[in-house]
Structure 1
Amino acid sequence: MDFENFYRTSQVNGTIYITTRKELDKDLKSSLEEGAGELFLTAIRQNPHCTPEKIVEVASELGEIYALRFKIDFSGQSRGYAYLQYINEALKEAALEYLPRRFSQLNIQIRVLTSNNNRELLLNRVHKSFSPWQVYQEMRKIYPFAILRVYEFRYNEFIYIFGYRNNDAAANAHQSIRNAIRRFGGRAHISWFSRKNYLSGVKVNSYCCRKLDKENIKLVPGIANNCFKF
């Protein structure tokens, strides 16, 4: 396999990226960047034969790889999991059957599952001195997000659900926010938000929230609707 001509390798913090060099259609690329067809590889052992390059080499037997995100710790060792996507997202179902069998044949211990592609974080217990608009502005400085939904669960007390483009962006944001969480008060807490929760973005009707911006921010928090988004 002519690896260098097909793929490029890079590292950003705790992730090794192997991505296709192929020029893709704009719509296809956008769909893949949002996590279409994403697979979760787990139980990856620290094995000299189980490198990111080897995983891509084996996985590409089934079809062209769009991206592998291989997670490592501060010493460069595998953290035990990675994310894999094919250019043809329809290969996902075939990969769920083919890859475990193929890895086993090569004596490589990897479990292959469907990725949850969780892309939402929950910020709560923010100090009451912060208005939703101030939280919005501060969070923009920490890490960019796609959308913020705010719920007022009692007068002048809010929970904040941040949506990101994909799981990778959410994971990077999670780490950045944890490092800066104390700016929102000593009790502030950031956590992953379950896709199974009834307030998850995959379930919430987009019309439930009133859209706000700096022109009508005066409505916060004295707004009749207790759900709004930026």
Structure 2
Amino acid sequence: MDFDACYNKAQINGTINITTRRQLEEDLKNSLEEGAGELFLTCIPKYCTPEWIVQIASELGEVYSLRFKIDFSGYCRGYAYLQYVDELLKEAAIEYLPKRFLEMMFFIRVLPSSNNRELVLHRVESLSPWQVYQEMRKIYPFVVLRVYQRKVNEFIYIFGYRNNDSAANAHLSIRNAIKKFGPRAGVSWMSRRHFLSGIRSKSYCCLKLDKGNLELTPATETACFEF
């Protein structure tokens, strides 16, 4: 395989991204960008390279992308995320790839990715929901913000991102800027099993704010709303 002819390679902070050079149909590309068919590879040896992973994985089918996590020294942190152009190869890869890696004396595990893409911001003080929305737009772009009111002037903010990678980058950026939201503010991952997760339900919100009325901060008696 002519690797350079088939794939692009780039590094963003602690991630080496390898993606196919093939032009894909827009619907397929959007589906893959949102995490369709994503696999989680773990127990990757320190000195393993992303090119080697892609070479082995491509024996089963065309790889769409590999997000290979590295440390400050450039060595593998032990895990990566893999996607095929054909997302239906996911189940076959879970069975085939561990056996193929084992033949090479690597005990790499291949699992379905949780593709968790929601973060929770809580214990925000002194800022209104509209102000939180504005501040978070400056920190890292998100797809949707759902706000739930616990009691008067106390809210829980759930931010949805396009995919797990975007959410992970946002998580780091928010932690670095968390003081903007008060001394007690914190950010954490939203469990996909939680009843408020957008994965389990499209939305629990009773009021949606579109672009025409974004500047209208909901009244405190509103139980929940969505930006």
TM-score w.r.t. the length of structure 1 is 0.95
Counterpart of 1:92, as a letter, is: K
Q: Contact between 1:37 and 1:86, CA under 8 Å: does it hold in 2?
A: yes
Report the CA distance between 1:79 and its aligned residue: 1.2
Report the CA distance between 1:221 and its aligned residue: 3.4
Write the distance in 2 (CA, Å) between the matches of 1:101 and 1:161.
39
Write the distance in 2 (CA, Å) between the matches of 1:117 and 1:24.
21
| Greater CA drift, 207-216 or 107-116 | 207-216
**Structure 2 residue matching 1:90: 3-state secondary structure:** helix
Aligned position for 1:162? 159
Identity rate, percent: 66
Structure 1 runs, 4 residues or longer, greater than 6 Å off: none
1:184 maps onto 2:181 in alignment:
yes
Write the distance in 1 (CA, Å) between the matches of 2:205 and 2:172.
29
Write the distance in 2 (CA, Å) between the matches of 1:24 and 1:209.
37
Aligned position for 2:195? 198
Unaligned runs of 5+ in 1: none
Write the distance in 1 (CA, Å) between the matches of 2:82 and 2:191.
21
Aligned position for 1:15? 15
Which of 90, 93, 96 is equivalent to 1:92?
Answer: 90
Against the structure 1 CA distance between its residues 72 and 217, is the aligned structure 2 distance closer, same or farther, given a 3 Å change threshold? same
Counterpart of 2:224, as a letter, is: C
Against the structure 1 CA distance between its residues 97 and 216, is the aligned structure 2 distance closer, same or farther, given a 3 Å change threshold? closer
Write the distance in 2 (CA, Å) between the matches of 1:74 and 1:11.
12
Write the distance in 2 (CA, Å) between the matches of 1:222 and 1:216.
16
Report the CA distance between 1:205 and its aligned residue: 4.0
Which of 44, 67, 70 is equivalent to 1:69?
Answer: 67
**Structure 2 residue matching 1:102: 3-state secondary structure:** helix
User: C-alpha root-mean-square deviation of aligned residues, in Å?
Assistant: 1.3
Write the distance in 1 (CA, Å) between the matches of 2:213 and 2:92.
50
TM-score w.r.t. the length of structure 2 is 0.96
Counterpart of 2:170, as a letter, is: A
Counterpart of 2:59, as a letter, is: E
Write the distance in 1 (CA, Å) between the matches of 2:94 and 2:135.
41
Counterpart of 2:118, as a letter, is: E
Which of 178, 194, 206 is equivalent to 1:209?
Answer: 206
Q: Contact between 2:38 and 2:81, CA under 8 Å: does it hold in 1?
A: yes
Counterpart of 1:108, as a letter, is: F
Write the distance in 2 (CA, Å) between the matches of 1:177 and 1:207.
24
Write the distance in 1 (CA, Å) between the matches of 2:138 and 2:217.
23
**Structure 1 residue matching 2:16: 3-state secondary structure:** strand
Report the CA distance between 1:215 and its aligned residue: 2.6
Unaligned runs of 5+ in 2: none
Counterpart of 1:63, as a letter, is: G
Q: Contact between 1:148 and 1:160, CA under 8 Å: does it hold in 2?
A: yes
1:146 maps onto 2:143 in alignment:
yes
Which of 78, 81, 84 is equivalent to 1:80?
Answer: 78
Against the structure 1 CA distance between its residues 139 and 219, is the aligned structure 2 distance closer, same or farther, given a 3 Å change threshold? closer
**Structure 2 residue matching 1:198: 3-state secondary structure:** coil
Against the structure 1 CA distance between its residues 15 and 216, is the aligned structure 2 distance closer, same or farther, given a 3 Å change threshold? closer
Write the distance in 2 (CA, Å) between the matches of 1:59 and 1:217.
49
Against the structure 1 CA distance between its residues 216 and 10, is the aligned structure 2 distance closer, same or farther, given a 3 Å change threshold? closer
Residues 69-99 of structure 1, C-alpha deviation per residue, up to 9 Å, x if partnerless?
0011122121111000000000000000000
